Structure 1
Amino acid sequence: MDAAEALFLQRGVEATTISDIVQAADVAKGTFYTYFNSKAEILHALAQRYTTRFMDEVEQAVDAQPTDDCLARLRSWIEANIDVYVRTHEVHDVVYSQHHHLGRGNAERNAIQQQLLQLLEAGIAGGHWALPAPAVTASLIYSGVHGATDDLIAAPKDQRAAFKQALIADCLRLVGATY
């Protein structure tokens, strides 16, 4: 999978062949087909791996905060999402290049939003904020962070820190908190 990811980043998915992947991985073509039926399958597996790694990094950042400090945990979730996405956006863009919203279902996005929803519900249970529709709030925060981080990546480097802080502050306002 590492060989496929590196080639997809270097050449693009369309320009990379299965032969290129097996040659770079130094395995036989049969070995590739033992695990994957097509290039689309390895791309899907890379997307799943990306999401798992992404969520693990975010979870580590959140878990570094005190369990009773829901605001710090939410802030950490937002900041880690921004930081990890900025650092890994090239891989993200490759593994999700074929993603379309036709089915509207997206297991990877749903998993990340569920992670956020759990934090929001913990804040509700702890009396830190009142959200009449926490799933909607999770969707707004996730979508806002994801979309705005795309803008952050494209922003001039000297404006990124202020943009990031404004993004975090605006997301926290959605739960009635201040930065």
Structure 2
Amino acid sequence: MNSPQENTRPQPRTKPAEVRLDELMDAAENLFISKGFEATTVSEIVRDAGVAKGTFYHYFPSKIEVLGALRERFTRQFIDRIQLAMDACPANDAVARLHAWCNSGVAAYLDSMAVHDALYHDHHYPTRGNQDRDTVLDQVLALLNEGIALGAWQLDNPRLTAMLMYHGMHGAVDNLVVSEDLRGTDLGAQLSQQFLRLLGCG
């Protein structure tokens, strides 16, 4: 049996490195949303994260690198959510997986629009933004190539089609947000219908 002294032994105060990193990134993300990237200072980030400046610079050389890390995390969470929805469909049903890509993509974009706008509506890190876009495009391209292999559709230029679908979905969601006439519409279903026609299946 443990002694009372052993049971009341204080827990270590130092948080794991991954927890500290998440707290720094969360604090930066919230400030970028509320104040904007330019207006946010490193001092504010460490204040909200409850850490010293030295801890910040242990992980990030500057504020720009925080933005890059947040973009990478956003992209990973975005594609993981969509992939989970697609993987819930039969592997041999390319049309169902395309429906899932449209529906989950629209939902993920709408749910995270404030974060997306805070991280991407600037020109501070253009190369990183292109890498994130290419990561999402690769997911669409994989879906299209799966459909080709299954005989669901035929495409001469799958990557061009992936670009049309990627930009079409993002543009449609942006339009949905600013247009009161379109609110309440099932945008995912509408995009699915249009993209299936683009693929020669409609």
TM-score of the aligned structures, taking structure 1 as reference length? 0.92
Counterparts of 1:1-179 in structure 2, within 5 Å, are 1-99=25-123, 106-156=130-180, 159-178=183-202
Q: Once the two structures are superposed, what CA deviation does each residue of 1:68-112 show, in whole Å capped at 9, x if it has no partner?
A: 100000111121111100110110011112248976981111111
Among all aligned residue pairs of Structure 1 and Structure 2, give the percentage whose two residues are the same amino acid.
46
Tell me by how many angstroms 1:126 deviates: 0.8
SS of corresponding position for 2:184 = helix
Give the deviation of 1:145 after TM superposition. Answer: 0.6
Report Cα offsets for 1:1-25 as digits up to 9, x if no partner.
0011111111111111100000000
Distance 2:37 2:160 in 1: 34
- CA-based RMSD: 2.1
Please identify the structure whose Cα radius of gyration is greater. Answer: 2
- The amino acid across from 1:119 in the alignment is L
Structure 1, unaligned runs of 5 or more: none
Deviation of the 1:129 alpha carbon: 0.5
**Preserved CA contact (<8 Å) 1:75 1:172:** no
- Counterpart in 1 of 2:17? none
Deviation at 1:157, TM superposition (A): 7.1
Q: Count residues in correspondence.
A: 178
